[in-house]
């Protein structure tokens, strides 16, 4: 595995978004992974509709929260075409599910895998390089005050509560770290990204990880 790998260098990661006052991190995480998988498969990178997942995945609670795994099961089972964000824009609130009989663009989920990589972050690195950006659920309680830099302390893995997109890692420096895209806007953290020390399952980053195939 390379010492450093970042899917942003391959132009398959869409810009950081802002979920605003809506508990939709789970949808941003899943849609981010699908956008990247689509671009890795050779299709153009485009922002896909987070609102469609919020409104239509009834197994989850929309802005009241949800599970990335349940959203992936729903996407796989229904084979629903996730339409572009431009067709179904983000509103940061729950809404009626829109159905598109002839969607323009978009993509459907073919398959996904979920794993607990705790204690095996080398294998998680391999999965990231091989499959693309990974959806992960972390304990982000201490992220309320985060400004930037590599998180090495104060991030437990006891209570996973926030879904993010792991887009790369960097092990070239003294402290190896994961490069994680968040959905709290570009004003937060490192222009919307957070760096989490690699190798000790900090924030529970390796506990619940999903890779997708479109």
Partner 1 sequence: EGKGEFESCNRCFQNATERHAYLNSFSTQPQSAKYGLNQFSSLSPEEFRDLYLRAIPEQALPFFGSKTKE
Which tokens sit at 38?
């689509």
Q: Is residue 22 annotated as part of the catalytic site, yes or no?
A: no
Nearest distance, CB of residue 208 and partner 1, angstroms: 5
Pairing assessment for the beta strands 193-197 and 150-151 based on DSSP bridges: parallel
Residues 165-194 that bind partner 1 (CB under 8 A): 173-175, 184-185, 187-188
Q: Is 162 a catalytic residue?
A: yes
82 touching partner 1, by CB under 8 A: no
Min dist CB 95 to partner 1, Å, is 17
Q: Which of 39, 53, 83, 124 binds partner 1 (CB under 8 A)?
A: 124
Asked if 140 is part of the footprint of partner 1 (rule: CB under 8 A), the reply reads yes
Rule CB under 8 A: choose which of 10, 70, 91, 93 binds partner 1: 70
The structure tokens 């941003």 sit at 28
CB of 123 to partner 1, least distance (A): 5
Least distance to partner 1, CB of residue 185, Å: 8
67 touches partner 1 by CB under 8 A: yes
- Contact between 156 and partner 1 by CB under 8 A: the answer reads no
Q: Residue 56's Cα: distance from chain center in Å?
A: 18
What number of other Cβ atoms are within 10 A of residue 99's Cβ?
9
Residue of 95, 115, 199, 200 interacting with partner 1 (CB under 8 A)? 115
Q: Distance between CA atoms of 49 and 43, rounded to whole angstroms? A: 16
| Strand (E) or helix (H) holding 30 | helix 25-40
Interhelix angle 68-78/25-40, nearest 10 degrees: 50
| Catalytic residue status for 81 | no
CA separation for the pair 138, 43 (Å, rounded) = 30
């Amino acid at each position: 595995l390379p010492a450093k790998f970042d899917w942003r260098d391959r132009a398959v990661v869409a810009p950081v978004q802002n979920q605003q006052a809506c508990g939709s991190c789970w949808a941003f995480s899943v849609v981010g992974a699908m956008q990247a998988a689509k671009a890795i498969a050779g299709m153009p990178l485009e922002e896909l509709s987070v609102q469609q997942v919020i409104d239509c995945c009834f197994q989850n609670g929309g802005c009241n929260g949800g599970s990335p795994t349940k959203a992936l099961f729903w996407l796989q089972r229904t084979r629903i075409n996730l339409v572009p964000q431009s067709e179904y824009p983000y509103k940061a609130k729950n809404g009626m599910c829109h159905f598109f009989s002839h969607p323009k663009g978009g993509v459907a989920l073919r398959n996904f895998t979920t794993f607990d990589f705790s204690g095996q972050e080398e294998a998680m690195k391999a999965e990231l390089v091989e499959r693309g950006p990974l959806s992960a659920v972390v304990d982000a309680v201490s992220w309320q005050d985060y400004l930037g830099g590599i998180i090495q302390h104060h991030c437990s893995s006891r209570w996973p509560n926030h879904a993010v997109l792991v887009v790369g890692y960097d092990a070239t420096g003294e402290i190896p770290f994961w490069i994680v895209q968040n959905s709290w806007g570009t004003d937060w953290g490192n222009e919307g990204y957070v760096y989490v020390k690699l190798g000790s399952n900090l924030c529970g980053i390796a506990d619940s990880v999903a890779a997708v195939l479109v």
